[in-house]
Copies of this chain bind each other. A is one copy, B any other.
Amino acid sequence: MTSTSHTPRRPSAAAGRVDQAQMRAANMALILRHLRAHGGRSRARLAAETGLSKATMSSLISDLAERGLVREGQLHRAGTVGRPGLTVELDGRRVCGLGIEINVDYVALAAVDLSGTVIRESSTPVDVPRLPVDAVLDRVATLVNRMLDSIREAGLIVAGLTVSPPGVIDYAAGSVRFAPNLGWRNVPIVAELADRIGPDVPPIHLENDAKLGAVAEYAAWAPEGVSDLLYLSGDVGVGAGIIAEGRLIRGWSGFSGEVGHLPLDPEGRQCGCGRTGCWETIVGLSALLRLAAPEDDEVQDPTRPLEDRLHTLHTRADAGDERTLAALRQITDDLARGLSVLVDVLNPEVIVLGGYFAFFGDYLLEPLGAALAERRMDEGSGARLVVSRLGISSTARGGAIVALEDVFDNPTLIDTH
């Protein structure tokens, strides 16, 4: 259990073998997922809905209860007649996952328990680019250890950690290949953190922010039956997370959804990546600020907190400031062009806008939706466009969920009390 796992899962022959233990684990997993998707219900109803027999259901539920993953709730009157059942529901008091977002000027942590409740959350200002890598890792490890202690004191097991650095990840090596905004290059973050976290290191996963955003949003949409979702994170950089048929699509080497550098700007501005015409040069945060205000305007002052600056812009838009509104219109147009590409390629059912796009959702959503609808080739090809409700914490939250996913895949990973 102290092994660090950071490689993306690949289909492999050995993994496919099924024996009785795995059969039982798979059925236990089925019950957990069913409870997560549809909420608490009686054993009898679970049996009917999953197709398992009542006897098996009783056995599996008592097994899950011994592991502290489910608990019995109140009596529940299903119909009008007959003996009422005892509600079985996910028990959040035993297991949680922990997500760690390392960003340019802060480190955010979020712990989510098995029932999906955020039980711990923290955000700590850290000037990452100015500090040596070692110092940052020490700082992160301290924050993580503190939270681990607090969680464990409360009697919970941490099923896993997910670290999310803002940059290009080498999954196989468990390292950050390149994080321009941090000034990091080839940092073996998984091994370094594992060394600094002790003595019991939960498995450490590594994933990028847009993918984790997609996971966090998908957790909210899955109960409604959505299985194809696209998450678009709007920050200085722009990235997408893709969920297809309920699974996170990572691509061959984890670079799926790198949409910030799609060549979509006909005027071909210079991008930080060295190429020209990248999408994020026209819809990224810098583009909004540049379009909405002159260089010496307060919203372009990097010493002011970003949230305040966005708030200022939003207030101006609300007051009818023409330049701000024009900037938002421009962003909308350019966003629509890129989104229409993503819709054509991926055909998602739901598109979730995150980051600063979410902040300006009231201005972007409607015209964007109209622009997309206009391009619709056919009923069914259009997507529902919504705004993230998770805010800044979506990355850390998604990380926690990814870590928990291991338990939902195989509940027997958690030992009996």
Contacts and interface: CB of A to CB of B under 8 A. Distances in A.
Say how many copies of this protein the assembly contains. Answer: 2
Given A23-B20, A261-B344, A375-B275, A249 B249 contact: yes
20 contacts: A13-B37, A14-B49, A16-B50, A17-B51, A18-B18, A23-B23, A177-B378, A178-B378, A244-B251, A250-B347, A253-B347, A253-B349, A254-B347, A254-B380, A256-B346, A258-B345, A262-B345, A263-B341, A345-B345, A345-B346
A186 to B, nearest CB: 12
B26 A16 contact: yes
A219 interface: no
User: Interface size bucket, A side?
Assistant: 35 or more
Interface string A4-35: 00000011011011111001001101100110
A389 interface: no
Interface of A: 10-11, 13-14, 16-20, 23, 26-27, 29-30, 33-34, 37, 49-52, 168, 170, 177-178, 227-228, 240, 242, 244-247, 249-259, 261-263, 266, 273, 275, 337, 340-342, 344-349, 375, 377-378, 380-381, 383
A249 B273 CA distance: 30
A378 B273 CA distance: 11
Contact of A345 (B17, B50, B240): B240
Contacts of A257: 345
A11 B380 contact: no
A18 B227 CA distance: 22
Given A14-B50, A244-B251, 12 more contacts: A13-B50, A16-B30, A16-B50, A17-B51, A228-B252, A244-B249, A255-B377, A255-B378, A256-B345, A256-B346, A262-B344, A275-B375
